Amino acid sequence: MSRLSRSFFARPVLDVAPDLLGRHVEHGGVTVRVTETEAYAGLVDPASRVLSRPTPHNAPVFGPPGHAFVYVTYGHHWMLCVATGDEGVPEVVLLRAGEVVAGHEVAAARRAGVRERDWCRGPGRLTSALAVTGSISGVDVCRTGSPLVLGHGDALGDVHGDGDGDVVHRRSVRTGPRVGVSGPGGDGTAFPWRFWLDGDPTVSAYRPGARRRRP
């Protein structure tokens, strides 16, 4: 699987987030087709306060685009993000959900007792299936030999027009409030920065503003 280029990630987060739908993410012997993402922009996004200033923990977010940022929520759920935009500007895409397309036996062992549709139906479940932990935070997904690959995926039709291959029909992409994120007005609708493939069974259930993970 060929990797996405640096130029793919060196764009505004609201362009990259929907364009990651249909791409493949690979780690730990499992490949997942991305079906849901969320965008976070630290300088203008009230849900991204922790990204507003650099720390040793979030340093990958302020570095070059195309680097992974992995953080933990609720004390044990790892969240996988990738930095986008310009270096020094804290923008990330959170990979929220996907479908296992390779490494089914490995994923089944990691997600024992869970039906296949739900193996990656949520960001913590996705990282569990991929065996992603904080140890890979900061890796360059564009570098040959990196343990984390974000690749082109299967061509499904006319689409994003990002120059990195055809992946998902624009008409199949939906957008709305992020899961568990409130904002002005309390319902998060001011920031409809969640993107998903319409009708895909692996997309996670929407829950309105509540206390949730925020990178």
CATH number at residue 170: 3.10.300.10
Q: List the domain range (segments joined by +) for residue 14.
A: 6-176+191-197
Domain-embedded: residue 165? yes
Q: Give the CA dihedral 36, 91, 86, 132, nearest 10 degrees.
A: -60
Residue 187 — pLDDT band, cuts 50, 70, 90? low
Q: What is the pLDDT of residues 29-74, one digit of tens each?
A: 999 999 999 999 988 887 776 677 888 989 999 999 999 999 998 7
Residue 209's pLDDT is: 60
Domain-embedded: residue 185? no
pLDDT tops 90 at residue 207:
no
Domain-embedded: residue 207? no
Q: What is the pLDDT of residues 99-111, one digit of tens each?
A: 999 999 999 999 9
β partners of residue 99: 33
The alpha-carbon radius of gyration of the chain (Å, integer) is: 16
Phi, psi (5° rounding) for residue 196? -150, 165
Q: Give the CA dihedral 80, 189, 175, 98, nearest 10 degrees.
A: 30
Domain-embedded: residue 79? yes
Give the number of domains in the chain.
Answer: 1
Cβ pair 23, 159 in contact under 8 A: no
What gap in Å lies between CA 79 and CA 76, rounded to an integer?
Answer: 10
pTM of model > 0.75: yes
Domain-embedded: residue 205? no
- Stretch among 96-110, 124-138, 158-172, 190-204 having the lowest mean pLDDT: 158-172
What gap in Å lies between CA 25 and CA 33, rounded to an integer?
Answer: 6
Mean pLDDT, residues 189-200 taken together:
90
pLDDT tops 90 at residue 83:
yes
Domain-embedded: residue 203? no
Domain-embedded: residue 186? no
Domain-embedded: residue 133? yes
What gap in Å lies between CA 139 and CA 153, rounded to an integer?
Answer: 20
